[in-house]
Amino acid sequence: MKINTAEYLISSAKVEQCPKAGYPEYAFIGRSNVGKSSLINMLADNAKLAKTSSMPGKTVLINHFLINRPVEGKQHNAADAPWYLVDLPGYGYAKRSKKAQEEFEHMISSYILEREQMTLLFILIDVRLEPQKIDLEFIEWLGENGVPFAIVFTKADKVTKGRLGGNVQHYLKVLSQQWEELPPYFVTSSETGKGREELLQYIGEINISIANQEE
């Protein structure tokens, strides 16, 4: 699957404010400072698409980016059809007030549970770290609510090749204690581009499946 165009479209404080177009939406979420903006820019091959910051908790709204804007009169194949890349606020930012954190949690949960166009949620996990309770609890919540998701391990360039494989397998082993069937997963690096083609191919395959169902 190719990305021909990638552009920022809108930021929304409520799910009702999200775009009306019925394109598939692939949302990205993770703990603060997991490298979400860098990953989005790597996928889109546009270093300035999502604003990156060394300050965690920067994303405070639901950000929609339109991928492969349709051109009037031009045919496209299903794999390269328009879709939305959605940047969700990170969870677990300790410096937010309790009220602000509750508002963020409501914003995130209402989007995930109520947004019909939400096709798949990508959960970003820092591959350098031990499995974090907050991530595992969030994944468990997704399972309880039947939300389709995949895991994206980030910052693969920050560890040795041997440790990388060990950390991924350890994480999957922890997940297998609660999951009979493990979710799809991808190992990525925003610095080297690792995992980009695999992620985009996966999204393209889902888009093709959606198009086939609509025929």
Using the predicted structure, report yes or no on whether residue 57 has a pLDDT greater than 60.
no
* Stronger pLDDT, 9 or 50, i.e. the higher one: 9
pTM of the model: 0.92
Q: Among all chains, which residue has been given the structure tokens 């939300």? A: 147
- Mean pLDDT check: name the lowest of 69-73, 75-79, 96-100, 164-168: 96-100
- Mean pLDDT check: name the lowest of 22-26, 77-81, 96-100, 122-126: 96-100
- Collect contacts of 73-81 with beta carbons under 8 A, ≥24 apart: 78/207, 78/208, 78/210, 78/211, 78/212, 79/1, 79/2, 79/204, 79/205, 79/207, 79/208, 80/1, 80/2, 80/4, 80/204, 81/23, 81/207, 81/211
Using the predicted structure, report yes or no on whether residue 192 has a pLDDT greater than 60.
yes
Residue 83: pLDDT band with limits 50, 70, 90: very high
Residue 77: pLDDT band with limits 50, 70, 90: confident
Predicted local distance difference test score (pLDDT) of residue 117 = 95
Q: In what order do the strands lie in the sheet with 62-67?
A: 6-12, 62-67, 83-87, 25-30, 118-126, 149-154, 185-187
Predicted local distance difference test score (pLDDT) of residue 94 = 52
Q: Give the distance from CA 192 to its chain's centroid.
A: 18
* Domain 6-214 top-level CATH class: alpha beta
Using the predicted structure, report yes or no on whether residue 62 has a pLDDT greater than 90.
yes
Using the predicted structure, report yes or no on whether residue 29 has a pLDDT greater than 80.
yes
Quick one: average pLDDT of 84-107?
Answer: 77
Using the predicted structure, report yes or no on whether residue 89 has a pLDDT greater than 90.
no
CA distances from 212 to 47, 77, 171 (A): 33, 11, 34
Quick one: average pLDDT of 51-55?
Answer: 59
Predicted local distance difference test score (pLDDT) of residue 95 = 58
Mean pLDDT over each residue of the chain, to the nearest integer: 89
